Every structure is written in structure tokens, then in C-alpha cells.
Amino acid sequence: QGFTEITLFVQTGKDVLLEIMDPDAVKNYNLFVWRVKKTDNDPEPKFLVTFSPVDGPDVPENYTEIVFPQANFSVILKNLQKANSGLYDAQLSTSKQEILVAYNITVLDPVSPVKVKVDPVSSSPDSCNVTVSCTTDDYTISSTWTCTNQTCSNQGHNSEITPLGASLHIYLSDDSVTIICNHSNQVDWITASAHISPLCPTSPVEVHSHTNNSLIIVLITVAVLLIAITAGMFFLYRKKRRGKY
Ligand SMILES: *[C@@H]1O[C@H](CO)[C@@H](O)[C@H](O)[C@H]1NC(C)=O
Ligand SMILES: *[C@@H]1O[C@H](CO)[C@@H](O)[C@H](O)[C@H]1NC(C)=O
Ligand SMILES: *[C@@H]1O[C@H](CO)[C@@H](O)[C@H](O)[C@H]1NC(C)=O
Ligand SMILES: *[C@@H]1O[C@H](CO)[C@@H](O)[C@H](O)[C@H]1NC(C)=O
Ligand SMILES: *[C@@H]1O[C@H](CO)[C@@H](O)[C@H](O)[C@H]1NC(C)=O
Ligand SMILES: *[C@@H]1O[C@H](CO)[C@@H](O)[C@H](O)[C@H]1NC(C)=O
Ligand SMILES: *[C@@H]1O[C@H](CO)[C@@H](O)[C@H](O)[C@H]1NC(C)=O
């Protein structure tokens, strides 16, 4: 029909600017309106704002909280909620009627947090198999990975669409030492990650934390000994001084 349809995804609570690309096209008009159709089945589009050459922009009372007309025939929609999703268009009435632009707006909540969990399956001296699960509020995806102390490789399925239409993706980071769960939709994403080195029981990280514990024990022992020696010398010294008098 000769007009552009722009698809927009907007996060709940955010604002959006609907623009006429060429405001100069709006002249000698009888009426210029921004309309919304909530669904394809909506019989009649609702008027959000009407611009008339005489009266300027007029916003129906029930839209004054969201619809803010601009001088150049654009309109800002504020604090969008999911119920505001729909097909918006700008209709110009001169001697004929034409649509100048349409916006297909989908309002989405940000994604919920994701958790990563690693469960050992089997291991050999130089590699191990683990199951990595990524869990969100409404969905879990898991896949099996074979890891050495240096990298992991994946044996199957690692990306799915959740019931809420978001996507959940398990992958190895560029540095090859981290497995990442990424929960994303068109407006937001969030990740959780697990380091590879502790995944296999044979990994050097385990050894490291062991050393760390024994180091603390050694330090405590040394401290106790030092206190004991100091106290002993103190008593010896007092005994000596008493002996003098
Ligand atoms: C219309 O006005 C808004 C501010 O009110 C501005 O952000 C936008 O860029 C303008 N658009 C055009 C096409 O002039
Ligand atoms: C807002 O009011 C207009 C009439 O002024 C009506 O046609 C429209 O359906 C109303 N919209 C909503 C979302 O209630
Ligand atoms: C609007 O965009 C959504 C998401 O891409 C799509 O499912 C829907 O069919 C589109 N609606 C129209 C009227 O183009
Ligand atoms: C890991 O799984 C693969 C494929 O199932 C298998 O060939 C391999 O022997 C397993 N490795 C270990 C350490 O269990
Ligand atoms: C990984 O393990 C191999 C032996 O399986 C060892 O030679 C290598 O040094 C280890 N790499 C790291 C980074 O610990
Ligand atoms: C997560 O996925 C989104 C969507 O694919 C992408 O834009 C984003 O960069 C990813 N984040 C990371 C840390 O990889
Ligand atoms: C000892 O281990 C703890 C956690 O187990 C870690 O936070 C700390 O940095 C380690 N210290 C050293 C000196 O490695």
C-alpha cells in the first residue's frame, strides 16, 4: 500500500516516539490522526490523537496519560504497558485518505534471572562429562558437555524458546573457560556463568583450594606456637626478676 510498517519491541514502562518521516507531507489536510488497532480482529481502530488545521491536536481523555502529540505531528507514547501492544498508524485525510506510516508495537517485560547448575555425569583422569542446566522462572534447558581442565565441548541441543517467547541459550565464552546461560528477549537479556576449571574433579582448582585450607591451618598453628613461646618467655623473665630481689 506504499507505506512503511516499522516493527518495534518496547520494554514495559518505557516511552516510544512514533514519527512521520516527512512532516512537510502533512499540509492542506482536513484531519490527521494517529490510530491504534489492538489485534488484527479489532473491527475499528481507536483514535489516539486528532490534529485538525483549526484546533491543533486533541487527545481523548482516556489517552491523556500515555499520548503526547508533538508539534511536528509525531507522538510520544509514555509508560507503555503490555496492553498497549498493537498496530499503530498515522492516517492523513485530504481529498483522499492515506496511511503515512504504521508501527507494529510489542511491549515486553524484561527477562527473569537465570541460574546455571552443573551436575557431574562421569569422569576419567583427563576429562569429564557434565550436565549444564539453565533455569529461569518458567523453563529449564539442559545439555551435556565434555570438559577437560582447559575447555568444554557440547554434544547437542543448546538453544530453546521458552513458553514466554524468550530464548534460552547455553554456550562457551570466547575465552573457552566459562560456560554461559543467556536468557534473552527482544528488549532485555541476562546471563549466568560457570567456570570450567572446577567442573572436573581432577582440576587444579580443587588442589588449589586444598592448599589454601592447609595454609590457614599452618598459619593458625604458627600463631598459637608464637603466643605460647611469648607467654613462656614472659613468665621466665618475671621469675628471674623475682629471684634478683
Ligand atoms: C519530531 O519532534 C520530536 C520532538 O518533539 C523529535 O524528537 C523528532 O526527531 C521530530 N521528528 C521529525 C521527523 O522531525
Ligand atoms: C477512549 O475513548 C474513545 C472515545 O472518546 C473511545 O472510542 C475508545 O474506545 C476509548 N478507548 C479505550 C481504550 O477505552
Ligand atoms: C506484529 O509483530 C509481531 C511480532 O513480530 C507479529 O507476531 C505480528 O504478526 C505483527 N502484526 C502485524 C499486524 O504485522
Ligand atoms: C563422555 O561422553 C562421551 C559420549 O557419550 C563418551 O564417549 C565419553 O567416554 C564420556 N567420557 C567420560 C569421561 O565419561
Ligand atoms: C590440564 O591438564 C593437563 C593434564 O591432563 C596438564 O598437563 C595441564 O597443565 C593442565 N592445564 C592447566 C591449565 O591446569
Ligand atoms: C545474550 O544474548 C543477547 C541476545 O542474543 C545478546 O544481545 C547479548 O549480547 C548476549 N549476552 C552475552 C553476554 O553474550
Ligand atoms: C583461599 O580460599 C578462599 C575461598 O575458599 C579464597 O577466597 C581466597 O582468595 C583464597 N586465598 C588464597 C591466598 O588463595
Half-sphere exposure of 158 (CA within 13 A, CB side): 17
Site to substitute for ligand 4 among 121, 126, 129, most atoms within 8 A of C-beta: 129
More confident residue, 217 or 145: 145
Our mutation pick for probing the ligand 4 site, out of 119, 144, 146, counting the most ligand atoms within 8 A of Cβ, is 146
For the stretch 85-119, pLDDT in tens is 999 999 999 989 999 999 999 999 999 999 999 88
State mean pLDDT over 208-228: 73
* Closest approach atom of ligand 6 to CA 182: 1
Q: Is the pTM of this model over 0.85?
A: no
Q: Whose CA is nearest to atom 1 of ligand 1?
A: 72
Closest CA to 91 of 42, 30, 38, 39: 30
Q: How far is the CA of 19 from the centre of ligand 7 (A)?
A: 56
The pLDDT, as a whole number, for residue 244 is: 61
- SS3 of residue 215 by DSSP: helix
Q: If you measure from the C-alpha of residue 214 to the centroid of ligand 7, how many angstroms do you get, rounded to a whole number?
A: 11
pLDDT tops 60 at residue 158? yes
Strand order of the β-sheet with 4-11 is: 4-11, 97-108, 86-93, 31-37, 46-52, 56-58
Q: Taking residues 180-209, report their average pLDDT.
A: 75
> CB of 198 within 8 A of CB of 205?
yes
Q: For the chain, first and last CA: distance in Å?
A: 116
Q: Which residue type does 133 have?
A: S
Alpha helix locations (H) across the chain?
Answer: 204-244
Residue 214, pLDDT score: 64
